Amino acid sequence: MKYVTFLIKEESKTFPLYLCTMVETRQDIRKLTKQELKEFFVSQGDKAFRANQVYEWLWQKSATDFAQMTNLSKATREMLEQHFTINNVEIGGQQKSSDRTIKSTMRLYDSNIVEGVLIPTTHRMTACISSQVGCSLSCAFCATGKLERLRNLDASEIYDQVVLIKNQAEQEYDQPLTNIVYMGMGEPLLNYSNVLQSVEYITSPEGLGMSPKRITVSTAGIAKMIRKLGDDEVKFNLALSLHAANDTKRNEIMPINETNTLEALREALKYYFAKTKNPVTYEYILFYNFNDSLEDAEELYQFTRHLPCKVNIIEYNPVEDTPFSKADEGTLDKFAAYLDKRGVTVKVRRSRGKDIDAACGQLAGKTK
């Protein structure tokens, strides 16, 4: 619900004014399916095809106001305004890094905040988007994990982040958005239905029309939901934030591992691959003197060798009030070289946007 607060003047000298709060009772039109839109128009004595026009405005043209729907009559637009609202996400502020990365504070209709990042490289424009307000997983190395999880994002709120960052790419760098990663605030698989619905809006020909192969959903590792991705035969890419390949170490930094052991995750990923034929990406942050030895690299190889995959070795980004620091360059290079010799497809991912707290693990609603 949306709350509107306003001032009412009072003649009394003792109480010159007071606050009055009204509850917004109109439904967000983007919660309706196309069929429900058709039923609404018919119930109003209008033609069912109006729903197609409105749906196009909402998901292909990303309209944020009924006044923008110029192929509808003024009377129809006013009728929609009376019955519905559009709870669109807005950019509350943004910061640009020295490496051109842009971090945006995204304000939701209820005044909650999430963050999204545009990551420009030579050949890509990538949007890193959030799926929850806060996070409940409490990973020891992550700034977002220190926040309380307040709520899941609606599919439309996830979609809006993509649209806003897409606009930034075009306006700031005159480049189209090429990739999307669900690696911002929150655990996507704990907001499963909204995440999958947002992917539908982003990839559908009736929506933004992006290829699902350009989308990666990252999870800290929830075995039963990874299996569900397989059952649903999703077309997008899956990444597992692994960061340690033995249970003792992973339990220490990722409490989710206590109920989703490495064995459970390995079997779930095998099931997922058998259903989708999609290779898996493993994300592995290298922490100094914790998971950066060649013995750790061998454990990582043993975990990843069971199905087609690639490994991203990630440079750690500093987070306040954590005991971790990044591995030195020489150790990182040796770790990656060891995996490469074992036949693993490995890539070292350098941090982007560190100077504005926009890098991996740093999103926490913090601005400089």
Alpha-carbon distance of 49 to 245, in angstroms, equals 54
* Residue 65: both structure tokens together: 């106001």
Rg over alpha carbons for the chain, rounded to the nearest Å, is: 23
Tokens 């601005």, located at residue: 367
Catalytic residue among 115, 157, 187, 315: 115
Is 148 a catalytic site residue? no
> In angstroms, how far apart are the furthest CA atoms of the chain?
83
C-alpha to C-alpha distance for 72 and 68, rounded to whole angstroms: 9
Sign of the alpha-carbon torsion through 251, 295, 331, 263:
negative
SS (H, E, C) 283-306: EEEEECCCCCCHHHHHHHHHHHCC
Distance CA 258, CA 364 (A): 25
The one-letter amino acid code at 266 reads R
* Given 128, 139, 309, 360, the catalytic residue: 360
- Residue 334, helix vs strand vs coil: helix
Q: Running DSSP on this structure, what letter comes out for residue 65? A: S
**DSSP designation for 327:** P
* 24: annotated active-site residue: no
Element (H, E) at 328: none
| CA 276 to the chain's CA centroid | 22
Residue whose entry in the numeric block shows the structure tokens 């059952």: 231
Reported as type and span, the H/E element at residue 172 is helix 155-173
Q: How many Å separate Cα 343 from the centre of its chain?
A: 31
Positions marked catalytic? 115, 360
